Amino acid sequence: MNESIALQAERIEVGAIEYSSFSSTINGHYHNAKIVVLMDTNTHDLCWNWLQTTVNVLQRTQMIVVPPGEENKTISVCTQVWEALLEYELSRHDLLINLGGGLITDMGGFIASVFKRGIDFINIPTSLLGMIDASFGGKNGVNFFGFKNQLGVFQHPIATYIDKRFLHTLPAEHIKNGWAEIIKHALIGDRELWHSIVQLETLSDDISNDIFERSLSIKITVVAADPHERGMRKILNFGHTIGHALEAYFLTRQYLAHGHAVALGIIAECYIARKLKKLATDDFVQITTFLKKHFHIPKIDHLAVAEIVQLLHSDKKNYGGQIQCAFIDKIGNCLYDQAVTEEICAESLQFLFFNTPEA
């Protein structure tokens, strides 16, 4: 498939990049522009050579390579990249290409949006999470003082080119990471998609076009309806209230990938939804059983629960000091702006990590 999907100012193309509009864009509008490709050491080693060979126009680019990992998604790494962009004498008319997973497209989008009050950027996601979620929709940012994406802006890339062949460069754990967002999309907006997913034996890199595109189209539809997250876009945060707190908690401890954290967040937030009598027990059991089967539950100390609850207070969605959550009331439909108490959040973590109280 080589498909182009319109999302407001943003262009998303799915398919082999050499048959996409990528080369003609570079040779056309950016004919005279300087082009810098931002990548991390992983995408440098696994993706860059292949991409440069496949798409000749990339021969004339400069590259900036940053260290991988969520712990490097910081303003200090941004500062180093901005310094390099200054050294390359990049002007407002030049272009940044972000080649990588969510970390690179999140951070690179922020770097471009702020440099000289904004230069154009193109995203080429290489991870499943990036393809299905992070690389489009206009949100970018970096972590700050251990809190997720606290600094950033809303700014769409000029275009996002999604080439699924990059998926074969990824370890299995990374693939699962992306599946968490596919599952989230199904749960908030597409019951049929959920039924396709729940029948799968494994969550592998062999993703059917049908599942891939249905998942993509949910995010695209939601973002187009509410690009700046004033209202219904908040349903995309399902699993992310608890998920982000878990990610922040584990940032300084063992590694917990974003998608993995979201999968765990979905379990906890489904617990909350059921406890508040919004979600039926059948749905709850089906979802949590499936997720607990496919996503490892890390070991934590009982005392950690209070610490994770504290981290919920830095969530960007909070309002008037209250924790705000999005959760589903049935598979395929999601509520948002739901105020929840610290107590119920703590209880949901008890369920997630210790299976108490019993479901």
Question: Quick one: 84 or 167, whose CB is closer to a copy of itself?
Answer: 84
What are the DSSP calls for 272-298, one per residue?
HHHHTT-S-HHHHHHHHHHHHHHS---
Closest contact distance (angstroms) between CB of 166 and a copy of itself is 27
> Cα 116 to the chain's mean position, in Å?
26
90: three-class secondary structure by DSSP: coil
CA distances from 87 to 62, 73, 109 (A): 11, 21, 19
Closest contact distance (angstroms) between CB of 138 and a copy of itself is 9
CA distances from 317 to 97, 233, 234 (A): 30, 11, 8
Closest contact distance (angstroms) between CB of 132 and a copy of itself is 21
Question: Quick one: 61 or 150, whose CB is closer to a copy of itself?
Answer: 150
Question: Quick one: 319 or 354, whose CB is closer to a copy of itself?
Answer: 319
Closest contact distance (angstroms) between CB of 151 and a copy of itself is 5
What is the helix (H) or strand (E) element at residue 81, kind and residue range?
Answer: helix 75-87
Question: Quick one: 62 or 286, whose CB is closer to a copy of itself?
Answer: 62
Closest contact distance (angstroms) between CB of 75 and a copy of itself is 6
* Residues found in the chain: 359
β-pairing, 10-14 with 159-162? Answer: parallel
What are the DSSP calls for 138-187, one per residue?
SB--EEETTEEEEE--B---SEEEE-GGGGGGS-HHHHHHHHHHHHHHHH
Closest contact distance (angstroms) between CB of 223 and a copy of itself is 14
For a copy of itself, the binding residues (CB under 8 A) are: 32, 75, 79, 82-83, 86, 89, 91-93, 113-118, 139, 141, 144-145, 147, 149-154, 313-314, 316-321
Question: Quick one: 31 or 299, whose CB is closer to a copy of itself?
Answer: 31
Closest contact distance (angstroms) between CB of 282 and a copy of itself is 36
Question: Quick one: 111 or 264, whose CB is closer to a copy of itself?
Answer: 111
CB 159 within 8 A of CB 141: no
Question: Quick one: 82 or 169, whose CB is closer to a copy of itself?
Answer: 82
From CA 240, how far away is CA 260, in angstroms rounded?
11
